[in-house]
Amino acid sequence: MKVLVLYDYPPSPGGLATQGDLLYRGLLEMGIDAHAVHFESAQEKEWYYRWFEPDVVVGVGYWGHTPQLVLHPQRYGVQPVPWLVADGYIANYQEVLNALPLILVTSNWVKEMYVRDGINADKIEVLPVGCDTDSFIPFDKNDPKILAVREALGISPDQLMILTVGGDAASKGAQEVMQALAIIDAKAPDWKYVCKVWPQPRTKKQNLADLQMASDLGIDKNVMYETNTISRTFMPYLVGACDIYAAPSRLEGFGMPQVEAGACGKPVVSIKAMGMLDTLIHGETAFLAEIARKIVVNEVMLGGESGFEDQHRVEFKVPRTVDYRASVNDIAKYLMTLMTDADLRQKMGMAGRERVVANFDYRIVAQKFVRIISDKLGIN
């Protein structure tokens, strides 16, 4: 089997790039003849098509990347297999996607979204995102690298560190977490809430709004936003430095940071919806807050990024849920439970580690990928 993997290559620290790179690594370690190339590099992709002649081209992205992941390899007679996430609504390319023999998605919820929006369920297989369980491991609290992270953040050994990681924090549920922390602040042990966000122009306004909320709630002295550029090398230590990972995400097709937190032996607080239903087990590896509200829209405006002209309006016959909000009271209850019970944090964290190693290690994901390709496409 010869596989060409399309993603943001060489990999940036982002989720889609990591998703593709871990599959690529897993395939190589299995002895599969595989190469990686940037999904937007038309010239380099064509170069691989011509000399490498891959049996399958697997491309990581969302439905809007169909031109790069599907149409481009098809133009050169190569079999594409997109590995897709969802962003709330699949607005275009249904005909192209339904003509494929196989589509991979990252969770059962993502599959539901594609089926809801017109993609044939028989074409879709769930392939979870891999996790590097050799890097994301439980660390001793006195490990010098863990101590150095906490010292750099100004967090003392007796303080509890709650962490959220994302391109921005609000989409990961940080505002709901802050509201919950404000509820329990007077009776909770000493804590700090760290939001690690990616430095980018589109999130500056959101970060300011989040920090204003922290101020309005009276907890701003305990909330910090870290906006430095960091590498994947540093991420396991940042996660390893926290006591609780909190991300009741508003939209999450898989939940890679939640899985990485589990691999580090950290208990997770999230939402009982979407990809987390595949990756987390309520009461065992995580506490999952109920859905308090669904954000429903009757229409959306799309443009060239989705294969439409600018300001293209799509009206829904049936309103679409495009976002979720977790119960703040549930988050407060679960945070308080974990903050006041170190043994429970340890127990849930270790259960999370076991689950990630057994189900989401990147080598296991690569093996599952090969089985799916063999079973569905007859390629060995």
pLDDT of residue 319: 81
pLDDT of 301 over the 90 cut: no
Q: Where are the domains of the chain?
A: 2-130+361-377, 144-290+327-359
pLDDT of 16 over the 80 cut: yes
Section 284-302 average pLDDT: 91
According to CATH, what is the number of the domain 2-130+361-377? 3.40.50.2000
pLDDT of residue 216: 97
Q: For residue 55, which phi and psi values (nearest 5 degrees)?
A: -75, -30
Least confident interval from 59-73, 83-97, 105-119, 172-186:
83-97
Which of residues 89 and 233 earns the better pLDDT score? 233
Do domains 2-130+361-377 and 144-290+327-359 share one topology? The answer is yes
Give the model's confidence band at 202: pLDDT under 50 very low, under 70 low, under 90 confident, else very high. confident
pLDDT of 21 over the 80 cut: yes
Give the model's confidence band at 131: pLDDT under 50 very low, under 70 low, under 90 confident, else very high. very high
pLDDT of 235 over the 80 cut: yes
pLDDT of residue 180: 98
Interval 311-348: pLDDT, tens: 778 787 778 888 999 999 999 999 999 999 999 999 99
pLDDT of residue 328: 98
If phi > 0 it is left, if psi is from -120 to 50 it is alpha, else beta; for residue 51 that is: alpha
Least confident interval from 145-149, 178-182, 304-308, 337-341:
304-308
- Average pLDDT for the chain: 95
Token match 């929006």: residue? 117
pLDDT of residue 154: 96
Q: Per CATH, which fold does 144-290+327-359 belong to? A: Rossmann fold (3.40.50)
pLDDT of 297 over the 90 cut: no
pLDDT of 229 over the 90 cut: no
Interval 74-94: pLDDT, tens: 999 999 999 999 877 788 899
pLDDT of 308 over the 80 cut: no
Least confident interval from 17-26, 110-119, 332-341:
110-119
- Order of strands across the sheet with 33-38? 33-38, 2-7, 56-62, 80-85, 103-105, 124-126
Among residues 82, 93, 56, 238, which one has the least CA distance to residue 153? 238
